[in-house]
Amino acid sequence: MKILVTGGAGYKGSSLVPLLLSNHNVDVLDHNILPDCTLIPFTKNKNFNFIKKDIRDVKKKDISKYDLIIHLAGLSGYPACEANPGIAESVNVESTKKICDLMSKSQKLIYASTTYIYEISKKKINEDSPVNPKTLYARTKLEAEKICLNRENTVSLRFATIFGVSPKMRHDLILNDFVKKAVNERNIVLFDQHSLRSFIHIDDVMDAYLLTIKNFNKMKQNIYNVGSDKMNYSKLQIAKKIQKKTVCEVITSTLNDPDKRNFIIDYSKIQKFKFINKVSIDDGINELVKFYKWFKPGSTGSNTLV
């Protein structure tokens, strides 16, 4: 199978591409290339090709030859989108519409969505629950998802909050950020400490993509929440777990977090395809503590095209 991964040099793509190359021809379309790009070694692989291009400039010739497109490209996260609203709209929404318009009906599409779009609720949330995105990031992700699902041969994966070590790290993701600060600054500051989030390790995200490729014809034209019922934690619970594994202080603030999320997600739909989370929150924290003890990021991390 010929696969195109948009935004494939980012946090998820840098983990996904090596796995796909085991069985497929894989091209990556991305423009945010740094000297430490983790895909450089794959240049030697005859089944790999890199297309250096901004997703907003994509042409039909760039995508017409692929059986499957995995659409990861986008401006990711609340802070980045709020700081760059025009880019968020053009990259997350307009470029997605352009890709869908250029694709043929027979081409398959897997879209990377998010559970962030749901209405805050005390009830368990499934794929048919009301959506009410509170931030520009969430609104653009929902709008792009709707565009994707208007075409044939599409699967949308709404991921829980991702964490864990990847070849191209994102230090801004909440659990990664908490561990980084616990190790390097010896404190974690909490806003809305009791708000609940659902988490998923990057390795389990990779399993979800591989499972979707394998079961695409059965899963198409549907939305799937991707995560685990066992991975719902409040910010305070996460911070306390990290505190047990590091020397840090947990500081609670009365200020409200503009990045509001507080819900429990139902993942039974994708579990029908035997999707199982393998990495626990504790194992993931251990991994991150080990990582940040030797890796010292020079910034708060990437919120760029991933």
Angle subtended at Cα 75 by Cα 72 and Cα 80, rounded to the nearest 5 degrees: 150
Torsions phi, psi for 103 (to 5 deg): -75, 150
pLDDT in tens, 46-102: 999 999 999 999 999 999 999 999 999 999 888 889 999 999 999 999 999 999 999
Mean pLDDT value across residues 262-282? 94
Q: Is residue 271 part of a domain?
A: yes
3-state secondary structure of 276: coil
Cα(292)–Cα(182) distance, integer angstroms: 9
123 or 20, greater pLDDT: 20
Q: Is residue 219 part of a domain?
A: yes
Q: Is residue 213 part of a domain?
A: yes
Q: Is the separation of the CB atoms in 103 and 69 below 8 Å?
A: yes
pLDDT of residue 119: 86
Q: Is residue 150 part of a domain?
A: yes
Query: What's the CATH number where 95 sits?
Result: 3.40.50.720
Q: Is residue 292 part of a domain?
A: no
Query: Taking 60 as the threshold, does the pLDDT of residue 144 lie above it?
Result: yes
The pTM of the full predicted model, rounded to 2 decimals, is: 0.93
Q: Is residue 185 part of a domain?
A: no
239 or 297, greater pLDDT: 239
Long-range contact set of residues 296-300: C-beta below 8 Å, sequence gap at least 24: 296/184, 297/169, 297/171, 297/180, 299/171, 300/171, 300/172, 300/177
Q: Is residue 139 part of a domain?
A: yes
Residues contacting 106, CB < 8 A, separation 6+: 153
Domain residue limits at 118: 2-165+198-230+261-279
Residues contacting 296, CB < 8 A, separation 6+: 184
3-state secondary structure of 304: coil
- The one-character DSSP state at 141 is H
Cα(300)–Cα(137) distance, integer angstroms: 18
Overall domain count for the chain: 1
Query: Taking 90 as the threshold, does the pLDDT of residue 121 lie above it?
Result: no
Q: Is residue 245 part of a domain?
A: no
